[in-house]
Structures are given as structure tokens and as C-alpha cells.
Amino acid sequence: MSKPKSNNTKTISVALTLCLVCSVLVSAVAVGLKPSQIENARLDRNKNILVAAGMYDAESDTPKDVAERFKDFEVKIVDLSKGNYLDDDALNEAGIPDRNAYDASQATKNQALSEDLGDNDPAGIGRVPKYAKVYVKSDDAGQPEMVVLPIQGYGLWGTIYGFLTLESDMNTIKGISFYEHKETPGLGARIEEPEWRAKWSGIHSYDENGDVATGVTKAGNPKENWVDGISGATLTGRGVSNMIQFWLGEQGYKPYLDALREESGKTIDNADTQASQLTQPDNQTAQPTTELAAALPVANGKEA
């Protein structure tokens, strides 16, 4: 009787060929899906901009509907320290050839496009971009009706990304949305819920001295112009509070918002504070910030 031939070489070559075929297939699928992943991420981000702007309609949210509503916004790149828009020359000089493709989060990985916050980093973001991408909706007279500002900061488990919309006074909050985070479902993730997000609408960001005067309190401690936190999610609430205060502050959008307000001749007027926010204070205080005026050369751009 003949012994079965040991055929290790054949077995190994079949296994290797199989591995090679599988890896080529997986890579091809990954590469093939990349454009639709990028497109879906863009669509999701644009939806969240509409949510923060109070312009999202769940009943008509096809890509076409979202794109149609999104047309109302101009994309602008803001120099955060000066508070002005970058025109095309300044964009080229800054190494941002396409404002629509600019990603401020990615820019924080580039030394030339961002600054190290060192110990002065309440939002836990490490580096702040020098330039931010904002979305501006103007009224018929060409005046900003609202601005949607990207915000990000560390929650309990990771970085939370969102958008904050301010009304034309650059003080009253119109809405807020969060589109990426690692908080726990049922606890910190409740920041996404419409009921909690609705608490932000109508509150004021700054006091009459121009200092940031909003944030998130611990649950059950209502305070004028602050949002009541989520029970069992104090740490996420603190993260959201810190990020809001950071981005509304001097290192964030404050120079830009001051400049917009100055340009439109508006001042901070909190006389219309809603009765629901006039409740007893707790012991939390907002971070102080200072005034900084800036000129506003205009550069336009529509997001594709």
C-alpha cells in the first residue's frame, strides 16, 4: 500500500493564495467604499449643522433635501485670534486652497495651522486650530442671521464634536447638536436627545460685560442662562460646559463674535432673558474673558 504523500508545500501555497485573494478583495472593497463613506460623513455633518440651526426636518431628509437647505449657508474661514474672515489670498497664504475641504480638527495635527494650549486647555483638546470653518446664514439685507460654529471638547470617555448656533445678536443661542462622541448610551449620550438640546435654545452666551456666562449645571441646580445637567451624567455635562465656555471664549470664537456684533452695531442685551431661566443660582461660575475688537474683511464661499 502506498503512503499518502506529504504535501506541505501545496497546502501552504493554497493558504497563501487564499490570504492574498482575500486581502486584495478586502482592500478593493475598502478603497471602493471610501468615497461613499466620505460622502455619508459629509451628509451627516451637514444634517447636524441644520439641526443646530433649527432647520432640520426629519420628514424630508434625503441627501437632496439636506443639500437644498444647506445652500442657505456660506462657508467661511475665520482667523480665531483676530476674529476676521480669510479672503482667497489669505487662504492661499495659510495653505488652505479649498475652504470647503478645510478640516479644523485635522489642522490641529499640523504645527503650522494650530497652537499648543499647554496647561490652558479647559476643553481638553490639546491644540487649537488657528483657523475655524463657520457656516453663516444671512438675511435679505446680507446681514448675518445666524452663525453655526463647530465645537469640540473632551467628555467623560472621549472627544465630543458638535455645532453651536448663535442668533444675529451673536449672543442668543439658537440651537446645539452633537454628532460624534463616546459617551454612554442612556447616560452621557443623552446630550444628543432633542429634549436636552432644546434647553439651550434662547439662552444668552455672554453677560453685559461680554464675559461668557453660560454652561451646564449639575442636574437639579437651575441657574439663569445655564442648562440643567443630566442626572447621572455630571461628568459629560462638565465636559460640554467646558467646551462651550472654551469656544465662546477668547481662545475660541469670541473675537469673531465681538467683531460681527460691532460691525452690525449690536450690543449685548440680556433684558429679554426667558422667565424659565430666571431661577435660583448655584455655586458654578463662568470663565472670565476680555473684549477684543477686530475688523471683518469678507470672503464668501458656498459648501459643495
Ligand X SMILES: Cc1cc2nc3c(=O)[nH]c(=O)nc-3n(C[C@H](O)[C@H](O)[C@H](O)COP(=O)(O)O)c2cc1C
Q: How far apart are CA 246 and CA 162, in angstroms?
A: 13
Give the interface with ligand X as residue ranges (CB under 6 A).
Answer: 156, 183-184, 187-188, 219, 231-236
- Identity of the residue, 184 or 201, whose beta carbon is nearer to ligand X in the bound complex: 184
Task: Tell me the chain's radius of gyration from C-alpha atoms.
Answer: 24
- Identity of the residue, 219 or 296, whose beta carbon is nearer to ligand X in the bound complex: 219
Query: Which residue is listed with cell 490570504?
Result: 19
**Minimum distance between the CB of residue 124 and ligand X, rounded to whole angstroms?**
14
Shortest CA distance to 300 belongs to which of 135, 148, 165, 156? 135
**Minimum distance between the CB of residue 235 and ligand X, rounded to whole angstroms?**
4
Q: Which letter, b or e, does each residue of 77-111 get, where b requires 16 or more Cβ atoms within 10 Å of its Cβ? A: bbbbbbbbbbeeebbeebebeebeebebeebbeee
Compute φ and ψ for 217, nearest 5 degrees: -90, 170
- Identity of the residue, 108 or 217, whose beta carbon is nearer to ligand X in the bound complex: 217
- Using an 8 Å Cβ cutoff, are 75 and 301 in contact? yes
- Identity of the residue, 46 or 236, whose beta carbon is nearer to ligand X in the bound complex: 236
- Identity of the residue, 97 or 186, whose beta carbon is nearer to ligand X in the bound complex: 186
- Count of other CB atoms within 10 angstroms of residue 287: 16
- Identity of the residue, 200 or 206, whose beta carbon is nearer to ligand X in the bound complex: 200
- Using an 8 Å Cβ cutoff, are 212 and 248 in contact? yes
Task: For residue 206, give the DSSP letter.
Answer: B
**Minimum distance between the CB of residue 220 and ligand X, rounded to whole angstroms?**
9
- Identity of the residue, 132 or 230, whose beta carbon is nearer to ligand X in the bound complex: 230
Q: In the complex, which residue's CB is closest to ligand X?
A: 188
**Minimum distance between the CB of residue 95 and ligand X, rounded to whole angstroms?**
37
**Minimum distance between the CB of residue 196 and ligand X, rounded to whole angstroms?**
13
**Minimum distance between the CB of residue 191 and ligand X, rounded to whole angstroms?**
9
- Using an 8 Å Cβ cutoff, are 299 and 76 in contact? yes
Q: Looking at the DSSP assignment, which residues form a beta bridge with residue 231?
A: none
The one-letter amino acid code at 53 reads A
**Minimum distance between the CB of residue 156 and ligand X, rounded to whole angstroms?**
4
C-alpha cell at 234: 455630571
